[in-house]
Amino acid sequence: MPQYQNCKRISIFLNMSDEIQTLGILKDAFKMNKICFIPRYDSSSNHMDMVRINSWQDFESLPETKWKIKQPLLEDKRETALSSGGLDLILGSWIGIHKMW
């Protein structure tokens, strides 16, 4: 899709085992030199930020949540999408992913 091809700053939801698999999209986004953000959920406040991950290796080093989804620890200071220029495209578990395929 042109929206994906042309975006520079992208947020990609990370799937659970029974959801649409998104790791291939994340790998491709890094290959295309996109600035990538993933959700980080704070269960104590019901707050979610889109935080930057810098590379596939950075992603692989992240711990898993109780839902088996990787995300940076809350103490891990990371650039957030809202504080650093926003996003060009968000791929979520809803229609955005479906349209892509």
Domains and CATH numbers, the chain: 2-100 (3.40.50.10420)
CA 58 to chain CA centroid, nearest Å? 12
Within 13 Å and on the Cβ side, how many CA atoms surround 11? 21
What are the pLDDT tens digits along the chain (101 aa)?
A: 888 999 999 999 988 877 888 899 999 999 999 999 999 988 788 888 999 999 999 999 999 988 888 999 989 999 999 999 899 999 876 544 444 43
- In 3D, which of 45, 31, 34 has the Cα closest to residue 9? 34
CB 20 within 8 A of CB 99: no
Residue 2 neighbours by CB distance under 10 Å: 6
CA-to-CA distance for 19 and 28, rounded, in angstroms?
19
11, containing H or E segment = strand 9-12
pLDDT, residue 54, reads: 96
Helix (H, G, I), strand (E, B) or coil at 42: strand
